[in-house]
Structure 1
């Protein structure tokens, strides 16, 4: 189906310098015309990039339960409206992950599942790489990097071991406390490999028609405005594994546990062969 857009509100042109793609705009949907739909992920999992892909592929702004003025300045205008406006395609949330711990009570853990009435896209990324990305964000923002010293020592060990559990439990909450087809899983790694396929799946889930010419423009501008530049960090981590043996045991275990949950639910399982650092993967 098509989305009824509000042509009286602000729009954004994502590719103004492209002769082929500059005709495409991103709009708000008509107020209260769309259901709330979570785009839920552990921090560092590519949530902002997925929002960029969804906005440019669908022509509809995405929203958030937060307000980040840095991304509003890049044209993510849905960031500035209430998440329950019914005018954005999905709404970004990191759930309880930003607290850095798992709530003790089930009611607290499932609060956002209930808020979104179980409707959501669970974005999963290799926790090894999500932890590195989140650490970089905490010290360097959307496109910067943490100092190399922040990936070793007792504080790094505590950070990574505690948040590995949060990564698993946040995803487990959406896997185990939603029903039927009201939610879906999206793997960051497979989206990177085959964006056309996964974007088509996302638009189908959201009930938005696929425009192949528009998708072509998305694929030609795939990175979006917030991709981190190449740095010496990638080279450093290829020669020095920032994860100790203890952290490998913890992270490998939570990956295995979550993969079993996905299999039980009947959702796409973790693409373990694409998980760098998992069981010492080098790819």
Structure 2
């Protein structure tokens, strides 16, 4: 998959419909207006977040304690937030990071659509939803929505998401064409930088998790399912994805001019520190009460504590291990060349075999 593909087939069947999620959703009757916000200290881009919320739109309570539960995550007014993608190879922790962002800011995250060609050819009514459509979107039959990600079916073009999730390659946005669109919206206006958050995880673990998700279509599954990781079918699957993992991460580094890199292993080690750095990139000054509440509810309920299949020599034969590590080193040096710290190589699977070989390709 070295060439760019359309969104419909870009990552193939193995990567379609991928999601990671947290926490139980709470829905409210559509005819009952929501209470006034109780937290008013947060700011985004220098603007008070509370001034952007629209009380008649859906909201969700991520926190479970009586003290923190009133700190809701709410929808803002249309076009009130700039487009920032949250990109990752599937099963890299994207939805956990979305939870951290939503709970810490009170702002929803959206799901990355429409793609460029849909955007160019649709009327405003298709890419900016009215109030009725917003409520309908939050009741769609999707697992992520049932867990509380109310923005999962809201297009980025609504302009209400602090970030917009994607597991695809970056679109070939052309600013001139975008600004000539009949609806007057632009994904990247010429007076603003192209911005993204790129989340990177040990690909050995992501690929194992993705294989299980492809079989079950569920993000919460702690069964071993060892049979998925044996035989020629698994080897073909595992050999197919390393260059996809590398190309996706590399293209996002190259396609934006302001990218904040989040390394999953470091996020697990220091979630609050990594989150604070990300919030600074997003120009968010969160309400301190939200951060205090989040410290006590960092994981959510979608974390699988029992991983039946782990990276080992039987799951990943030598030739697959070598293939993946060649791409890990390439991405490591690409990050270093662009001024980032590089990957936490010693925390990746099979680092004792391949962590010090220093493969660097141009």
Task: Report the TM-score, using the length of structure 1 for normalisation.
Answer: 0.86
**Paired position in structure 2 for 1:101:** none
Offset, 1:146: 6.3
**Do 2:226 and 2:308's aligned partners in 1 also have CA atoms closer than 8 Å?**
no
**1:39-70 CA distances to partner (integer Å, 9 max, x unpaired)?**
10001101111111110011101010368711
SS of 1:84 mapped into structure 2: helix
**1:162-205 CA distances to partner (integer Å, 9 max, x unpaired)?**
111000000110112322xx221111110110011111111111
SS of 1:6 mapped into structure 2: coil
Q: Distance in 1 between matches of 2:236 and 2:351?
A: 19
Q: 2:340 aligns with which of 267, 270, 278?
A: 267
**1:64-114 CA distances to partner (integer Å, 9 max, x unpaired)?**
036871111111111132221111111110114xxxxxxxxxxxx652697
Matched, 1:5 2:53: yes
Q: Distance in 2 between matches of 1:212 and 1:262?
A: 32
RMSD (CA atoms): 2.3
Of structures 1 and 2, the larger Rg is shown by: 2
Unpaired segments of 5 or more residues in structure 1?
97-108
Q: 2:195 aligns with which of 109, 119, 130?
A: 119
Provide closer, same or farther for how the CA distance between residues 113 and 250 of structure 1 changes in structure 2, counting only shifts above 3 A: farther
**Do 1:113 and 1:178's aligned partners in 2 also have CA atoms closer than 8 Å?**
no
**Paired position in structure 2 for 1:36:** 83
Offset, 1:262: 0.2
SS of 1:120 mapped into structure 2: strand
**Paired position in structure 2 for 1:142:** 219
Provide closer, same or farther for how the CA distance between residues 273 and 112 of structure 1 changes in structure 2, counting only shifts above 3 A: farther
Matched, 1:186 2:262: yes
Q: Distance in 2 between matches of 1:172 and 1:80?
A: 27
**Paired position in structure 2 for 1:94:** 167
Q: Which runs of 4+ in 1 moved over 3 A?
A: 112-117, 231-234, 278-282
Provide closer, same or farther for how the CA distance between residues 167 and 221 of structure 1 changes in structure 2, counting only shifts above 3 A: same
Offset, 1:138: 1.1
Q: Distance in 1 between matches of 2:72 and 2:86?
A: 22
Count of residues in correspondence between the two structures:
264
Q: Which structure shows the higher helix fraction?
A: 1
**Paired position in structure 2 for 1:159:** 237
**Paired position in structure 2 for 1:106:** none
Task: Report the TM-score, using the length of structure 2 for normalisation.
Answer: 0.68
Unpaired segments of 5 or more residues in structure 2?
1-45, 114-139, 179-186, 189-193, 356-362
Matched, 1:76 2:149: yes
